[in-house]
Amino acid sequence: MNFTKPWLPLTSDEEATRVPVLDVFLRARDGRFLRQTLIVDSGADVSLGPRELCDFLGLTWRDGQSVTLRGISTKDECAVPARIHQIELYVREARCRLTLPFCFAEGNAPLLLGRDGFFDVFQVHLDKTNLLTTFEYGPSPG
């Protein structure tokens, strides 16, 4: 099953840089789904969001695997504590539910859809020229 999504601006400014995005639904502990727009980031190993989202989903912060995010800086003052939880995610266009690792960072963090768990079942084609992303649902060959 294939579907295509247009790239969207990061801000409400129509002249802003457009990025590949996907609307997904994250399952909270109480069973409700929360709709979120995530930036599709083929360079991110793990999906990412703020700790506030972890709390909103009803997850217990300390139960996640402890990690430290550093980005491009090795300075200690730039390190950000984070926790990785397994979450359930639903992609409406593919009628697909999957469980994947999701890293919740202390403080303000962007909502990113990384490779682990997602790229295992979706082939993703980023078309920068036309500002479109095509998603093909199905396990990767081999």
Domain boundaries defined on the chain: 2-10+20-137
Q: How far apart are CA 115 and CA 113, in angstroms?
A: 7
pLDDT at residue 71 tops 80: no
Stretch among 10-14, 47-51, 110-114 having the lowest mean pLDDT: 10-14
CB neighbours of 88 closer than 8 A, spacing ≥ 6? 26, 27, 97, 98, 99
Average pLDDT over residues 89-107: 95
- The rounded radius of gyration (Å) of the Cα atoms in the chain is 15
Other Cβ atoms less than 10 A from the Cβ of 89: the count is 22
Contact in structure between 51 and 106 (CB atoms under 8 Å) = yes
- Is pTM, for the whole model, over 0.85? yes
Contact in structure between 53 and 108 (CB atoms under 8 Å) = no
Q: Which two tokens stand for residue 136?
A: 């093909």
Q: Which two tokens stand for residue 88?
A: 């359930």
Which fold would CATH assign to domain 2-10+20-137?
Cathepsin D, subunit A; domain 1 (2.40.70)
Average pLDDT over residues 30-58: 94
Average pLDDT over residues 45-70: 93
- pLDDT of 97: 94
Per-residue confidence band for 70, with pLDDT thresholds at 50, 70 and 90: confident
In single-letter form, the type of residue at position 103 comes to: C
Q: Which two tokens stand for residue 13?
A: 């400014």
With tokens 């409700």, the residue in question is 32
